[in-house]
Amino acid sequence: MVVGDFESSLDTVVIGAGPGGYVAAIRAAQLGQKVAIIEKQHIGGTCLNVGCIPSKSLIEASHYYKGLKKAPFKGFQVKNFDFDFEKIQEWKESVVHKLTDGVKFLLKKNKVEIIEGTGYFLDDHRIRVMHEFGGETYTFNHAIIATGSTPIEIPGFKFSNRILDSTGLLNLKEVPKKLVVIGGGYIGSELAGVFANLGSEVTILEGMDSILANFDQKMVSYVEKSYQKLHIQIETKAMAKSAVEADEQVKVIYEVNGQTKEIICDYVLVSVGRKPNTKELGLERIGIKLDQRGLIEVDEQLKTSIPHIYAIGDVVKGMALAHKASYEAKVAAEVISGQNVQVDYRAMPAVCFTEPELAATGLSKQEAENQGYQVKVSEFPFQANGRALSMQKTEGSIQIISEKESDLILGAQIAGVNASDLISELTFAIESQATLEDIALTIHPHPTISETIMEASEVGLGMPIHI
């Protein structure tokens, strides 16, 4: 790399080293491209450092504590136990470091140059990277924008030491006595469960009719019942108005059905969505088209309005999911390498690690009907599954949405233990254009949770065995 006023030449440059960016860089390198990746903060991005991985680590720790406190099996007694939250946080960070160090190793192994700093476009073939010691200019042949997203800050709730985004909450050194969560989506609902398990009094304020609105309401009802047992208070149609900080507390003022209410807590989590990181890239300067939300417009090959510049992940339309970004990363890298591929979102799985877990893929019943399908919904309860009974985790059910005449599988929703793993089989079934009979005739091992998929398929065929 040449410093000073001289420009360095790059073949393919990736901006952002999250689950979209680093995957794009590695796949492009595997396909013979000379690749550099620009990252201003953490290799691994939000997901590995302050999102998916640390949150799931705390989720598992909270489940372990809950199980010790109240074992679901008769005959077990655990007395005089407690936890050190700072030690749990140290363990969580060790998991994060192990993964991020692994990503760094993979980038280097694939001969990807890592450039630390903040990149912005000078024109459609030049990018400037700034860092604490100055900056360098690079020319490039192709670029992939993978800069991700950041939490939305809402009026009246400016982020502070006690009004937190998900990153701030995940890095707390103490467990709040009282926690208010504004927004009952994926992040808010997951973290509400974590801190309720660890002993916090939690209140969720959700502006819509239900938490987790992207999932089937029956599936969500299992989570709501579980959260009632955890004494999580859920206020729907609740609009957060303002917060007043005093000493070591926060007063949250909100409105429900025209009535003003308030609640005192130690910390507030604001989790009402995320916004794409596209403002400071200089995209307007070079003519890349954005929509009203600041998302980059791309075609089916993820090309922007400048064909040799691509965009993936949270900066383009669709759900802000790490695996979506990784999928799009491979497509973009392969297109740049000359392959004739494009994105296909027929089955994009989504998972929420609540209690019980929720997962969905393909079309919902409503979406399928809106597309003109005559559908049927086949459902099987976890309480009729031997493995779920032996684990004492019988909450939930599995739904498979299929075309009524052909039995073609169109979508699925799961609420229950291991839903996050089970959904992959149904995603593959949709991608493979499998039918209910294909699933029913596939031998599933016994006793396993995966048998629920086979059983639900048999329900759809009108020949159930265990219900």
Catalytic residue among 97, 131, 446, 466: 446
* 53-58-59 Cα angle (round to 5): 95
Name beta bridge partners: 9: 139
Report DSSP letters for 213-272, one per residue. Answer: TTS-HHHHHHHHHHHHHTT-EEEESEEEEEEEEETTEEEEEEEETTEEEEEEESEEEE-S
Query: CA-to-CA distance for 365 and 439, rounded, in angstroms?
Result: 19
446 given a catalytic annotation: yes
In this structure, the number of other CB atoms found within 10 A of the CB of residue 56 comes to: 16
Radius of gyration of the chain, Cα coordinates, nearest whole angstrom:
24
d(CA 327, CA 362): 16
CA 134 to chain centre: 35
Among all chains, which residue has been given the structure tokens 């280097």? 108
Identify the CA nearest to 454 among candidates 416, 426, 427, 433.
426
**Cis omega (within 30 of 0) for bond into 356:** yes
The answer, yes or no, to whether the previous bond of 155 is cis (omega within 30 of 0) is: no
CA separation for the pair 223, 230 (Å, rounded): 10
Identify the H or E element spanning 280. Answer: none
Question: Structure tokens of 29?
Answer: 């390198």
**Residue positions annotated with a catalytic role:** 446
